[in-house]
Amino acid sequence: MSISLSNISKSYKKVKAVQDISFDVNPGELFGLIGPDGAGKTTIFRILTTLLIADEGRATIAGFDVVKDYKAIRNSVGYMPGRFSLYQDLTVEENLTFFATIFGTTIEENYDLIEDIYVQIEPFKNRRAGKLSGGMKQKLALSCALIHKPKVLFLDEPTTGVDPVSRKEFWEMLKRLQKKGITILVSTPYMDEAALCDRIALIQGGEILEIDTPDAIVSEFPKTIYNVGADNMYKLIQSLQQYEHVYSVFPFGEFVHYTDKRDSFEMADLQSYLEKEGLADISIETAKPNIEDAFMELAR
């Protein structure tokens, strides 16, 4: 099933949450909405899941209009909201039974779709959802969003607040669901997860900066990136920002991603400048750009 948005805008009083957004998700695609907090991702999800009406524009799921045909859409989509999707006072099993019941189905009927995920939390089926770890809550919420066998899955920041191992497992699960023919729209503020999607839309301040495959977005990065390291990170960032030829400086793990304004950049020039600034253990080497670099460049 495909998803299509054309010229969607939505404001909350004076706040323009999304502005003139258009994109299509192909049937069976794993599509990512990538952007920082407040970019407008949740607003887009709420419009597509028929919980919020856009001020302008049109959106369809498998050809069904999100306003006119909301009933048809609600039966065929699964939605895992960022927060508060579970009933904290109900047990694991009660939550799942509840979601199955409201869609007129049973856990047994669609168990094959959730089995991979649910077996991991089944030993805790009598535990209240409020007492689960972040990773377990996430698995239960995903099971609840899948229990009526949706054709399209909407996942709003499913890995926020989840440990790295569970995050990795979660993305492996998404790939398996995709192989079963489910179209997936997922949002994340984590740029490393963007690379796992078929295509991504980079979004900021309610506007789309770019839509393409992760590889294409990275390959369009216009500059050479240097990984710069030194003994004092704080001082290194300050010094790089003050360098007369600086184009951009972003901290990246234990290094700083630096780009230079000049075409004829000499590492030795930068090295001697940083030495004069009193830094030691300086290292400068070229690095491959990643989605985060591309995002920062497009957001400039």
Ligand X SMILES: Nc1ncnc2c1ncn2[C@@H]1O[C@H](COP(=O)(O)OP(=O)(O)OP(=O)(O)O)[C@@H](O)[C@H]1O
**Residues at the contact surface with ligand X, assessed by CB under 6 A:** 12, 15, 17, 35, 37-43, 157
* Shortest Å, Cβ 82 to ligand X: 6
The per-residue DSSP string of 130-190 comes to: GGS-HHHHHHHHHHHHHTT--SEEEESSTTTT--HHHHHHHHHHHHHHHHTT-EEEEEES-
Q: Sign of torsion, CA 169 135 152 47?
A: negative
* Shortest Å, Cβ 83 to ligand X: 9
Pull the structure tokens for residue 256: 């700083």
Q: How far apart are CA 59 and CA 23, in angstroms?
A: 10
Closest CB to ligand X among residues 37, 244:
37
Q: How far apart are CA 116 and CA 119, in angstroms?
A: 6
How far lies 10's CA from each of 59, 283, 291, in Å?
Answer: 13, 47, 27
SS3 assignment, position 35: coil
Closest CB to ligand X among residues 202, 270:
202
* Shortest Å, Cβ 187 to ligand X: 7
Closest CB to ligand X among residues 40, 289:
40
Closest CB to ligand X among residues 38, 164:
38
CB 41 within 8 A of CB 48: no
Neighbours of 28 (CB within 10 A): 16
* Shortest Å, Cβ 276 to ligand X: 42
Q: How far apart are CA 67 and CA 78, in angstroms?
A: 17
Helical packing angle, 164-179 and 111-118, nearest 10°: 160
Closest CB to ligand X among residues 200, 256:
200
CB 58 within 8 A of CB 7: yes
* Shortest Å, Cβ 3 to ligand X: 17
Pull the structure tokens for residue 100: 């199955």
Closest CB to ligand X among residues 161, 164:
161
* Shortest Å, Cβ 205 to ligand X: 8
Phi, psi of 214 (to 5 degrees): -55, -40
* Shortest Å, Cβ 38 to ligand X: 4
Residue type, 103: F
Q: Sign of torsion, CA 191 197 203 209?
A: positive
Closest CB to ligand X among residues 34, 236:
34
DSSP character at residue 76: H
Closest CB to ligand X among residues 183, 188:
188
* Shortest Å, Cβ 33 to ligand X: 8
